[in-house]
């Protein structure tokens, strides 16, 4: 056990998303890149991963005592917060769900969107069990396939354990009850390909965190895997931010990529939790 709750923050995942935004379709399989820097003429930006993470923040803030209304606020906030950003990288089926005239039922997804947006529930939860339960609620509004629910639940559980002082052995044991982590980043780096499923993103993101030496190294490790870089780094960053804490200069830099509307949600959530 580490000594105490370390005051991590949901900005960890948002940093991973922004840093990874330029590498999603142009992978960079090494760790020596310029953090938040341009790549091949592309500028970093806050993609769907950041926007949906902040939607979940807003849903929690508005869910009422005991989070009784969370399912309803999750549907409403994802649709309301997300709609002004049609070109930020949504998957096709999520796009249709978000822009439909009336809210649609979940569509049995096991996409990695389940895991990239879920970290705020860990900050709201008083126990591991509550973090998992809240994760299932916000995940289930769209990603109600068992692998989607698992991706959300395990990511939230790891964030909760990390922010409550558990060490990497504990986090690894928890993750291994759900995923096979019998590989190293170095082993998979040459052959890992773009994959938008939880099954082929969440374990890789977890191992990137487990192998890291600090928050920055975790983000670099996640990008170096290749694949769906913004989402993989968002998931790794969510866990790493809770575990190591986030350097203040990274937090400030990430906030400079959020517009006033998104920044307001982040600030409100940070004050509440
Ligand atoms: Mg994205």
Q: What residue spans define the domains of the chain?
A: 11-272
Distance 263 CA to ligand 1 centre (A): 18
**Residue stretches of the chain with pLDDT short of 50:** 1-7
pTM to 2 decimals? 0.96
pLDDT confidence of residue 8: 59
Distance 238 CA to ligand 1 centre (A): 14
CB 200 within 8 A of CB 35: no
Q: At residue 197, what are phi and psi to the nearest 5 degrees?
A: -90, 155
Q: Which residues surround ligand 1, an ion (CB under 5 A)?
A: 47-49, 89, 230
pLDDT tens track for 240-250: 999 999 999 99
Distance 63 CA to ligand 1 centre (A): 25
pLDDT confidence of residue 9: 83
Distance 54 CA to ligand 1 centre (A): 13
Q: For the domain 11-272, what is the CATH code?
A: 1.10.4080.10
Distance 2 CA to ligand 1 centre (A): 32
Distance 41 CA to ligand 1 centre (A): 18
Q: 39 exposed, middle or buried (CB, 10 Å; 0-12, 13-18, 19+)?
A: middle
pLDDT confidence of residue 6: 46
Distance 234 CA to ligand 1 centre (A): 9
CB 155 within 8 A of CB 12: no
Distance 94 CA to ligand 1 centre (A): 12
Distance 4 CA to ligand 1 centre (A): 32
pLDDT tens track for 34-46: 999 999 999 999 9
CB 170 within 8 A of CB 83: no
Distance 256 CA to ligand 1 centre (A): 18
Distance 42 CA to ligand 1 centre (A): 14
CB 212 within 8 A of CB 191: no
């Amino acid at each position: 056990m580490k000594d105490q709750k370390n005051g991590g923050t949901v900005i960890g995942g948002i940093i991973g998303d922004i840093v990874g935004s330029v590498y999603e379709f142009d992978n960079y399989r090494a760790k020596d890149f310029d953090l938040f820097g341009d790549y091949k003429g592309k500028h970093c930006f806050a993609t769907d991963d950041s926007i949906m993470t902040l939607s979940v923040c807003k849903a929690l803030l508005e869910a009422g005592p005991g989070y009784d209304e969370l399912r309803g606020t999750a549907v409403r906030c994802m649709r309301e917060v997300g709609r002004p950003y049609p070109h930020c990288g949504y998957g096709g089926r999520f796009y249709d769900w978000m822009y439909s005239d009336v809210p649609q039922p979940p569509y049995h997804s096991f996409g990695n969107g389940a895991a990239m947006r879920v970290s705020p529930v860990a900050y709201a939860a008083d126990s591991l069990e509550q973090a998992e339960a809240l994760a299932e609620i916000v995940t289930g509004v769209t990603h109600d396939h068992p692998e989607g629910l698992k991706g959300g639940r395990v990511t939230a559980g790891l964030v909760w354990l990390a922010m409550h002082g558990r060490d990497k052995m504990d986090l690894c044991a928890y993750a291994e009850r759900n995923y096979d982590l019998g590989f190293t980043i170095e082993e998979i780096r040459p052959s890992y390909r773009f994959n938008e499923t939880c099954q082929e993103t969440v374990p890789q993101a977890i191992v990137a965190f487990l192998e890291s030496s600090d928050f920055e190294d975790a983000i670099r490790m996640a990008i170096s895997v290749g694949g769906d870089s913004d989402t993989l780094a968002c998931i790794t960053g969510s866990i790493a931010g809770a575990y190591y804490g986030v350097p203040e200069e990274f937090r400030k830099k990430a906030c400079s990529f959020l517009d006033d509307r998104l920044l307001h949600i982040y600030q409100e959530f940070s004050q509440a939790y």
